[in-house]
Amino acid sequence: MSEKRPMHDDAALDDFQAALTELLARRLPPDEAARQLADDPAFADHRAWVSSFRPALLDTAAMLATFWARRS
């Protein structure tokens, strides 16, 4: 491989993804999930996006996360 150059990381995106993963893995009731997405500062950077999540699609993602997600 070519010489290493600095990775283009996005720490804020990483934090957001960690928070979303944690929320999905808990598979909360839809109202509780919506409340956390609306109020939790961890989702502030993308509030408009998370506020538009469809409940059925969020629950589907949570179902898949409970099956697939593995923690270190």
Partner 1 sequence: MRRPPRVGLNFLPEDDFRVAAMPLFEAGLVEAIETDIDARWGLTRDSSDRPTATWHEPMLDHYAAHDALYGHGVWLSFLSGRWTERHERWMERLADECRARHYRHVSEHFGWMTSARYWRNTLLPAPRTRETVALAIDRLRRLAEASDRPAGLENNAAALAPADALDQGAFLAEILDGADGFLLLDVHNVWTQAVNLGLDARALLRCYPLDRVRELHVSGGAWFTPAITGAEPVRMDSHDGSVPAEVWPLVREALAHCPELEVVFLERRGETLATDDARDGFRSDFLQLVAEVDVACSDVEAA
Q: Which residues bind partner 1 (CB under 8 A)?
A: 1-2, 7-18, 20-21, 24-25, 30, 46, 49-50, 52-61, 63-65, 67-72
Q: Which of residues 41 and 52 has its CB atom nearest to partner 1 in the complex?
A: 52
In whole angstroms, the minimum distance from the beta carbon of 40 to partner 1 comes to 15
Nearest distance, CB of residue 5 and partner 1, angstroms: 9
Alpha carbon distance 59, 62 (integer Å): 5
Tokens matching residue 57: 């699609």
The contacts of residue 46 (CB under 8 Å, 6+ apart) are 16
Place of tokens 């010489």: 3
CA 47 to chain centre: 12
**Cβ closest to partner 1, residue 14 vs residue 39:** 14
